[in-house]
Structure formats: C-alpha cells, structure tokens
Amino acid sequence: VGRMNEATEDGGERIHKVLARAGWGSRREIERWIEAGRVRVNGRRAETGARLHPGDRVQLDDGRMLRISGATAALRVLAYNKPAGVVCTRRDEQGRPTIFEDMPSIDRGRWINIGRLDINTSGLLLFTNHGELAHRLMHPRYRVDREYAARIFGEVDEAMLARMRDGVEIEGERFHFDDIVEGEGDGANRWYYCVVQSGRQREVRRLWESQG
C-alpha cells in the first residue's frame, strides 16, 4: 500500500490517511465515506479507524478499485476564482454548474477542493490532488485564516462586533470571528472583513444573521 510510516509499519496505517495521501479525498471526506459504508477493504465494509496493510484491496461503493500503491503522485495545486451561481459539489441534482466542470484532467486520484463557498458567494478556492495538504489547510487545528468580505445592510454597533468576536451560540453550536475589520461604505451599507479558522457551513452569514 505505497509508503507506510515506519512508526506504523507493523500495525498498518489508518485507511483515511492512506487514501488521502493517494489523492482520493481529504481525510474528513474519506472518514465520511467510511461512516456511510461506502468503503470496503478486501470485500468487507471498512470501519472507522481501520488500518491498511500491504496487499489490501480497497473499493468504493460502486465497486471501483482505489489505486493506492506505487509512487505518490506529483503535488498539484490550482487557484480558482469561484463566481456566484456555481455550487461546490461534484454533481448537482438540479443541474446547476459545479466547480469541477472546468477542472483539467488528472493522472492519479482526483481534485480535492480545499473548503467550500455557498452558491451566492464568490472568491478564491484552492484545489489539490494531495489529501494531506488539503487536511492541513482545512482542519481548524492548524489555524489557517479564511478571510471574507461581507457586505452588510443595517446599523452595526460595537456591541454586535464584540459579541461576534466573543462567540455566539447558533442552533447548539458556538461560532465566532477571530477578527473583524470595518471596510468601505457609509451608514447602513458597509463592508466588513471577517476572519474565521473553522470554515463551517455558512459560518459568516449565520454569524451576521444572528445579530439581525
């Protein structure tokens, strides 16, 4: 199964790390596949935390064998300016354009999008064929800043900004901005530059909506 880390050679290496390194997806994405029963090892459904050993055969739900042996593919990274109206998914049931439609072909693995932007948001997305790189850029543990420019309609006071910096509970989860900087605009129509490190779904919009 390609390169095993020396520290785990005898006991195998966790399946989500091996598949991520081979370029099949980010660690989080592969963990979701395993939880959903989409991955099989040697014909049996894989379990979370399972380890791979040399010679193991890995299949995705459609029966496709996942190539994980041999040399690691050359690292590739793409920067993509996502326009509004495009969705961050591989296939869309509603037939809307997706971020993957114009991606160039790749020899091994597949393109992994680093983060997501909702359909109404435009801006920078990164793509890579290296699951470990995607993991390090997306996981909150590595504290990578994500900066958004949000156009806000309505009166914003210092108490609101302080609450969003300190943390707001929304539907049982706690959200906060690591930084907020006031930008251009006048009165009740201003831009704010907001920094987060967790990258949860619609995080910026939900924080502002929590303040009315």
Give me the active site residues, please.
Answer: 118
Answer for the pair 50, 30: CB distance below 8 angstroms, yes or no.
no
Answer for the pair 26, 129: CB distance below 8 angstroms, yes or no.
no
DSSP string, 152-196: EES---HHHHHHHHH-EEETTEEE--SEEEEEEEETTEEEEEEEE
Handedness of CA 100, 101, 106, 109 (dihedral sign): positive
Helix, coil or strand: residue 127:
strand
Give 211's contacts (C-beta < 8 A, 6+ positions apart).
156, 160, 163, 164, 168
Helices (H) and strands (E) in the chain, counts: 5, 13
